[in-house]
C-alpha cells in the first residue's frame, strides 16, 4: 500500500470539506473493497476520509413501510435489524448472504453501492426497490445512480448519506454465488409493489451477470405483471451478447443463470 493520510470526518460538512482540501481523497467506510484495492496498488488515494464516525449515519429507521438506511450501516446491522426484517425480509436476507461474517461486520451499504461492483448484491435491490439514493448534495433514483461497471453518478467530493425506499408488498433475492468469492454470478431481486389489479407494479433488478453492471429487466417485469409466477418468465430471453464471460462462467451460462435465478426469486416472493 502506498502512503496515505487517514482522518475521521466529524459530520457530513466536515467530510466534504476534508475531501475538497485533499489532493486525491477517497472516502473510507468498511474498507472491505478499498483497502484490498490499495494493497494491490490499484488505488492510491492521498487521503482517506473515514465516514464511519459520523454520528447517526448508520441509523436504520422504519416507519410503517417507509425505510431509511444510513450509508454506514454495516451488512450485519442491516441483516439483523428487527424492524427491517418485518417490513422487508428480502433485503435482510440479501445482507445476511454478502461475503462472510467478518466482511459483514465491516462492509457498509453506502460503500457497496458507491463501489457498484458488477457482482455486488445491493445494487440489484436498490433498482428493484426503486430506492432513492441521498447524497450530501442531492437525491437521485437508483436507476440514475448506477451508471456502469464500477461507475456511479457520484461527483467529486460527493458521498452517499443514506438510501430510502417504500417496502414492497413482497419480494425476494435469489443469488447464485461464486463458490470461491461468494460474489454473485447472477443475482436477481424481484419486488412486487402492489399497484392495481389491472396494472400490478413489479420491478426486477439484476446483478452479477451483465457487462454493463446492474440493470433493470423491463421485459421480465412486464411478463410478471401479466402473471406473477415463475413460468411467466419462460417467454423472456436474456441476451447473451450483454453477459459477462470469464473463467467462472460463459456468457451463455450466465444468461441461463439469470433466468433460473429470476424464477427462483419469483417463487420465493410468492
Ligand X SMILES: Cc1cc2nc3c(=O)[nH]c(=O)nc-3n(C[C@H](O)[C@H](O)[C@H](O)COP(=O)(O)OP(=O)(O)OC[C@H]3O[C@@H](n4cnc5c(N)ncnc54)[C@H](O)[C@@H]3O)c2cc1C
Q: Which residues bind to ligand X, rule: CB under 6 A?
A: 26-34, 51, 71, 98-99, 103, 107-108, 110-112, 114-115, 117, 120-122, 154, 159-160, 181-183
Beta bridge partners of 60: 69
Task: Collect contacts of 175-181 with beta carbons under 8 A, ≥24 apart.
Answer: 175/94, 175/97, 175/121, 175/208, 175/261, 176/208, 176/257, 176/260, 176/261, 177/97, 178/119, 178/248, 181/119
Q: Would you say 127 or 223 has its CB closer to ligand X?
A: 127
CB of 98 to other proteins, least distance (A): 10
Q: Would you say 36 or 235 has its CB closer to other proteins?
A: 36
Q: Would you say 98 or 266 has its CB closer to ligand X?
A: 98
- Smallest CA-to-CA distance from 108 within 178, 33, 13 is with 33
CB of 101 to other proteins, least distance (A): 6
- Binding partner of 110, given other proteins, ligand X, none, CB within 5-8 angstroms per partner class: ligand X
- Binding partner of 105, given ligand X, other proteins, none, CB within 5-8 angstroms per partner class: other proteins
CB of 249 to ligand X, least distance (A): 16
Name the burial class of residue 180, with classes exposed (0-12), middle (13-18) and buried (19+) by CB atoms within 10 angstroms of its CB: exposed
CB of 59 to ligand X, least distance (A): 14
Cβ contacts of residue 99 below 8 Å, gap of 6+? 32, 75, 107, 182, 183
CB of 197 to ligand X, least distance (A): 35
Binding site residues, other proteins, CB under 8 A: 1-6, 28, 31-32, 35-36, 38-39, 48, 50, 52, 76, 99-103, 105-106, 182
- Binding partner of 255, given other proteins, ligand X, none, CB within 5-8 angstroms per partner class: none
User: Count of CB atoms within 10 A of residue 188's CB?
Assistant: 31
Q: Would you say 141 or 182 has its CB closer to other proteins?
A: 182
Q: Would you say 4 or 92 has its CB closer to other proteins?
A: 4
CA dihedral sign, ordered 109, 207, 233, 267: negative
Query: How far is it, in rounded angstroms, from Cα 90 to Cα 88?
Result: 5
Amino acid at each position: 500500500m502506498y502512503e496515505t493520510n487517514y482522518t475521521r470526518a466529524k459530520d457530513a460538512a466536515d467530510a466534504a470539506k476534508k475531501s475538497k482540501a485533499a489532493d486525491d481523497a477517497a472516502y473510507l467506510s468498511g474498507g472491505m473493497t478499498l483497502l484490498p484495492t490499495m494493497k494491490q496498488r490499484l488505488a492510491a488515494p492521498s487521503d482517506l476520509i473515514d465516514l464511519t464516525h459520523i454520528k447517526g449515519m448508520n441509523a436504520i429507521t422504519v416507519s410503517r413501510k417507509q425505510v431509511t438506511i444510513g450509508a454506514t450501516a454495516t451488512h450485519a446491522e442491516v441483516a439483523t435489524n428487527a424492524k427491517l426484517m418485518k417490513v422487508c425480509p428480502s433485503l435482510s436476507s440479501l445482507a445476511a448472504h454478502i461475503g462472510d461474517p467478518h466482511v459483514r461486520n465491516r462492509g457498509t451499504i453506502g460503500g457497496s453501492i458507491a463501489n457498484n461492483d458488477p457482482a455486488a448484491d445491493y445494487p440489484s435491490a436498490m433498482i428493484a426497490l426503486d430506492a432513492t439514493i441521498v447524497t450530501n448534495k442531492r437525491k437521485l433514483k437508483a436507476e440514475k445512480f448506477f451508471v456502469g461497471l464500477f461507475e456511479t453518478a457520484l461527483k467529486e467530493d460527493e458521498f452517499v448519506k443514506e438510501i430510502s425506499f417504500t417496502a414492497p408488498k413482497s419480494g425476494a433475492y435469489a443469488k447464485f454465488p461464486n463458490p470461491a468469492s461468494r460474489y454473485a454470478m447472477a443475482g436477481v431481486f424481484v419486488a412486487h409493489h402492489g399497484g392495481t389489479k389491472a396494472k400490478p407494479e413489479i420491478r426486477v433488478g439484476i446483478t452479477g451477470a451483465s457487462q454493463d453492471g446492474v440493470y433493470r429487466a423491463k421485459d421480465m417485469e412486464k411478463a410478471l405483471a401479466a402473471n406473477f409466477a415463475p413460468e411467466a418468465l419462460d417467454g423472456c430471453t436474456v441476451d447473451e451478447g450483454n453477459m459477462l464471460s470469464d473463467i467462472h462462467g460463459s456468457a451463455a451460462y450466465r444468461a441461463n443463470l439469470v433466468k433460473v435465478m429470476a424464477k427462483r426469486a419469483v417463487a420465493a416472493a410468492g
